């Protein structure tokens, strides 16, 4: 992506590496800090041009396109100091890395990105630890308290392809391990609910089962049964927010340690039994490499604190 300026207007030429983005997504990244509503407004007003012509926000940009970006007051870029300060103390385990992507084993308790009162997340840490990297972007997300495999793209071409693969959920096999309250009745079962996102009165994001929601599908495999608990392997067939947590809770088997959808009475007892976090871990990811076409099988075993709890149940 090359830029030239003319009377405070910026002209950005799209390269092969940055091609394939929608115009609105390109502008959101280029004008960091500018509200999405304002970006849509300047596009509708014709202040943004592609190859000297008006363009819709949904237009896919191609290599060689020249985007006219008007002068826009950009919010001050958030300080990266907290991530830089923590980068020496927080070591992120790398499970796989090549020129296109990185797979890390995210610890529980670290958000994937900063915001909403969180000064930094995994992606800010990675950028602080790798200042020479030209491109690092999250491919998908994990909840803050969920541990396990997280993909980060090192090239936009890889990011675009991986997003296409995620939209077709049969192309990426994502498996999670969860310990739930109660004995799951079937060896293998399909959970399908419509899920709706909403906000609590204090602004917290939640999800509930609703006829007005989006279709969601999780395949649940019972791996082990204990006295009053089950270790489940969950296959994501769709990727809705908090999908596994809500599917299991709505089925009557909440995940142990889940402070949003779990059993609050049981959760208060769990620390004394040795479990001090949400028992949800993204343990396996199988996919075709976005650029090479090779099959990738990534695994992250249960963290010590979760395996130790399992051992107490045996």
Catalytic residues: 143
Cα–Cα distance, 240 to 215 (Å, whole number)? 9
Contact present, 57 and 23 (Cβ < 8 Å):
yes
> Would you say 286 and 297 are in contact if contact means Cβ atoms under 8 Å apart?
yes
Nearest CA among 33, 41, 131 for reference residue 80: 131
Q: 197 has which bridge partners?
A: 207
């Amino acid at each position: 992506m090359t830029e030239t300026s003319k009377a405070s207007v910026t002209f950005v030429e799209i390269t092969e590496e940055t091609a394939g983005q929608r115009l609105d997504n390109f502008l959101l990244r280029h004008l960091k800090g500018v509200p999405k509503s304002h970006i849509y407004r300047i596009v509708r007003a014709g202040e943004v041009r592609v190859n000297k012509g008006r363009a819709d926000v949904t237009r896919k940009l191609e290599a060689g396109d020249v985007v006219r970006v008007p002068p826009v007051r950009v919010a001050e870029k958030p300080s990266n100091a907290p991530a830089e300060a923590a980068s020496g103390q927080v070591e992120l385990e790398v499970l796989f890395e090549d020129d296109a992507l990185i797979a890390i084993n995210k610890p529980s308790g670290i958000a994937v990105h900063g915001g909403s009162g969180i000064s930094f997340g995994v992606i800010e840490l990675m950028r602080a630890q790798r200042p020479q990297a030209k491109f690092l972007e999250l491919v998908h997300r994990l909840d803050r308290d969920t541990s396990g495999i997280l993909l980060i793209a090192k090239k936009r071409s890889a990011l675009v392809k991986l997003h296409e693969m995620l939209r077709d959920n049969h192309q990426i096999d994502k498996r999670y391990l969860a310990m739930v309250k109660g004995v799951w009745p079937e060896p293998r079962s399909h959970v399908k609910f419509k899920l709706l996102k909403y906000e609590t009165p204090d602004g917290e994001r939640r999800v509930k089962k609703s006829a007005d929601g989006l279709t969601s599908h999780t395949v649940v495999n019972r791996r082990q049964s204990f006295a009053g608990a089950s270790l489940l392997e969950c296959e994501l067939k769709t990727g809705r927010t908090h999908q596994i947590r809500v599917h299991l809770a709505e089925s009557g088997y909440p995940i142990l340690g889940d402070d949003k959808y779990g059993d609050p009475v049981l959760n208060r007892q769990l620390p004394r039994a040795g479990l001090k976090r949400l028992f949800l871990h993204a343990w396996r990811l199988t996919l075709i490499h976005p650029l090479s076409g090779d099959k990738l099988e990534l695994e992250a075993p249960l963290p010590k604190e979760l395996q130790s709890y399992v051992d107490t149940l045996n």
